[in-house]
Amino acid sequence: MYRIRPLALEKSKMNSIDFKPQKNVRVLNLPFPKGRVISIGDVHGCLEELEQLLVKLEITMEDCVVLLGDLVDRGPDSEGVVQLVKTMSQVGDVHCVLGNHDEKCVRYHYHVLKNKEDSKYKNPMRCPGAYNELSEPSIEFLAKAPHAIFMDNKDTKEPYSLCFVHAGLSPALFNQPASAFIRNRHFTRNVKNNKIVPVKSVEINDVWFVPEGSHPWHHFFNGQFTVVYGHSVYYSPEIINNTIGIDGGCCFGGGCLRAWVKPPVGSSCFVEVASRTAT
């Protein structure tokens, strides 16, 4: 279901400004729903697994669903995933934060349109893997995604506030650069000024290495609200300092597509479907 063919990007009627990379942080504030809060990890083009998970979740109109970004790339049907999520968002309380793979396609499209507006303009990027699979309406949908979604428990009976991001939060919380929401991973403490600073990972033969003495961002989080995030693959949920990592590595095969489910009353739980896809 919801398998939609990409549209020709050559017929674009939009301007590059519509896809210009956002420097300002966009936070969407939502109320707690009457039903469940459901958060779904990185889908990465795995449409079949997403459809199976949605069937398993039995979502109602009283539920609020937040996808944690990286809808596209790596899996077999990025366009189908975006169009399904877009359709769901038009009829229900369904939202998606921006992921780094999503942002890369948006940013590349910005440069493509700049080149069409000025033939002397050179695109500085390599074409992302998912880009040629996506229709312009799908890229436009991704471009509008916020960097974070926040549910404040003030004046509610909820025990804690919720924040949904793709990659994580720095100690600066919402004052961090927009790019950090989609790429945060590891930090270290500067021994000279005692400040916590981000570090860069290095990829060698498809394996990521981090500098000695650095730790994942959630080790430094103070737990003042609950953060649900994706980006980093955990084959079982990672729960530490009031943060919940739920990316199950669905697109790699051997993992799963995972959802975190918080009911109006009672304990939260995880719902999973096994991966059918190996990239």
Residue 161 has pLDDT above 70, yes or no: yes
Residue 140: its H or E element: helix 136-143
Residue 58 has pLDDT above 50, yes or no: yes
Residue bearing the bigger pLDDT, 91 or 277 = 91
Query: Whole-prediction pTM value?
Result: 0.91
Distance of CA 16 to the CA centre of its chain: 23
pLDDT band at 190; cut points 50, 70, 90: confident
Query: What residue type is assigned to position 184 of the chain?
Result: N
Beta bridge partners of 66: 39, 95
Contact 178, 161 (CB under 8 A): no
Which domains does the chain show, CATH number per domain? 28-185+224-274 (3.60.21.10)
3-state helix, strand, coil in the chain (%, to 5): 25, 20, 50
- Region of 24 (left: φ > 0; alpha: ψ -120 to 50; beta: rest) is beta
The predicted-structure confidence for 251-262, as pLDDT tens digits, reads as follows: 998 899 999 999
Average pLDDT over residues 154-170: 94
